[in-house]
Structure 1
Amino acid sequence: MTLRLRVARTGDELRVEPARLVVAGYTARDQDAVARHIAELAAIGVPPPASVPVFYDLDPALLTTDDVVGVAGGNTSGEVEPVLLRAAGRWYLAVGSDHTDRDLERDDIAAAKAACPKPIGTAVLALPDDPAAFDLDHVAAVSAVDGVPYQSSSLAALLPPGDVLRRMGAAMADDPLVTDADLAVFGGTTPLLDGAFVPGTRWELALRLPDGTDLTHTYEVKIDKTGECPR
């Protein structure tokens, strides 16, 4: 599976063939906010994580730049996330959505995440050789569902990229950073404006940098009547 992307500011084409996909959860810097988010999920029947942050090792074939994706049920939702991409040894930033099956999530969070595609935008930003040197604090993360604002805050609410990667390496028995293979890491998401998941149809995502560079993606979900999730 090859992702065909474009590097912002240069227009260079980039091909990424991810060998691993890791989705990080509960990555807020504010531990009180993490506790509130866990409580929000518990209120709808989602079990608490075994550790914080938590890292889900998923099939990289879930990654897609398509503007229409298939889901198996009506109760799914997405959210805006910074995505760290490593391609040919270099790091890039993309915008993505950890689209998740909210019904399945009540029983098995990993399975709920694995049940849906993971859309990302085609425009990416080249990062320093050491992604820990890149400051995300002044990057805005916004999303809307069916035209209604859904998220709007700064990525300062999340752990810095270097911290996420360090914790990932320590938490996972098979550290994805040990090899130079292409890799995608979803870095977590910011709070929902109304604190509740919305099972919408059209999702608009954006990471907005201080210099005016926007990393965006818009996609729609279609319910597949066969119960499968085409990508």
Structure 2
Amino acid sequence: MTTLSFELPDGSTRTVQVKHLLNAGYAGREQEEVQAHIAELAELGVPGPATTPALYPVSPYLAQQVSEVRVQHARTSGEAEWALVITDDGVLLTVACDHTDRELEVHGVAWSKNASPDVLGRKAWRLDDVRDHLDQITLKGWVGQGDTADTLIQDSSLEALLTPDYWLEVLTERGLNEPGTVLISGTVAMTSGVNQFARSWKVEMTDPVTGSTVDARYVVEQMAEPIG
């Protein structure tokens, strides 16, 4: 079972063993932004969902805090998102990058979500501490062709996405609002013309009220060609 560890603003640490990992999809509050993301995926051959928002169960071991993601080919990419982490000591909010196999996605979104990890930040905030100003928190993603992600590809705020409390209600309805559950939020639209098939990724959330930032960053390494 994967164990994640998070540093909180007061310097304390919380750990959680991941029992359930879920990826939300098409989860924007504004239909216009949802349709923009669906259009982005359609350009890659991914059919639109039957309903929105969507929710995909993912293998729990794919919740990772890593600096390198290994992939099988060049058409994979990340997505800037937030993540809810339910612990024995309350709910945490951190940043995440849902790395997705775009070749596999055209055959099934749920399959593609299980092909690469969800990379989570190593720092987190208590949800109770930021709930009253969630919409002000910014969410950004950068990509790069080298080891440094230096080109902005996603630039939005948590106001664009369904709230953590919305998803906590869904988890309660499904009997999953319990320690060990991690939920990834779904993403925001990417900037047109920026190549998402990058070597490096960085995602970041910034709280303008406290000035605090949480981020996750990694490089993508392509594995050797298979034999046979």
Q: Same fold (TM over 0.5)?
A: yes
Closer, same or farther: CA 188–15 of 1 in aligned 2, 3 Å: same
Between the aligned partners of 1:165 and 1:38, the Cα distance in structure 2 is: 24
Structure 1 residues without counterparts, runs of 5 or longer = none
Q: How far apart are the structure 2 equivalents of 1:94 and 1:80?
A: 11
Gaps of 5+ in 2: 145-149
Q: CA deviation at 1:197?
A: 5.9
> CA 1:185–1:197 in structure 2 vs 1: closer, same or farther (change >3 Å)?
farther
Equivalent residue of 1:135, what SS? helix
Match of 1:145 in 2: 143
Given that residues 135 and 160 in structure 1 are in contact (C-alpha distance below 8 angstroms), is that contact kept between their aligned partners in structure 2? no
Deviation at 1:22, TM superposition (A): 0.5
Letter in 1 for 2:55: F
Cα drift, residue 35 of structure 1: 2.3
User: Residues of 1 paired with 2:88 and 2:225: CA distance?
Assistant: 38
Partner of 1:41: 41
Between stretches 35-44 and 78-87, larger displacement belongs to 35-44
In structure 1, C-alpha distance between the alignment counterparts of 2:214 and 2:98, rounded to whole Å: 16
Contact 2:36 2:189 in 1 (8 A): no
Counterparts in 2 of 1:1-231, with a 5 A limit? 1-7=2-8, 9-128=9-128, 133-146=131-144, 147-167=150-170, 174-177=174-177, 180-194=178-192, 198-210=196-208, 211-225=210-224
Judge conservation of contact 1:55–1:168 (CA < 8 Å) in 2.
no
In structure 2, relative to structure 1, the CA distance for the partners of 1:169 and 1:52 (3 Å cut) is: farther
1:5 counterpart letter in structure 2 = F
Matched to 1:136, the amino acid is L
TM-score (norm 2): 0.89
Q: Which amino acid aligns with 1:6?
A: E
Q: Between the two proteins, what is the percent identity of the paired residues? A: 32
Q: Secondary structure at the match of 1:112?
A: helix
Q: Could you tell me how far apart the structure 2 residues matched to 1:52 and 1:218 are?
A: 29
Residues 70-102 of structure 1 deviation map (CA, whole Å, 9 limit, x = unaligned): 112211000211101001151001110011001
Q: CA RMSD in A?
A: 1.9
In 2, Cα distance between equivalents of 1:50 and 1:205 = 29
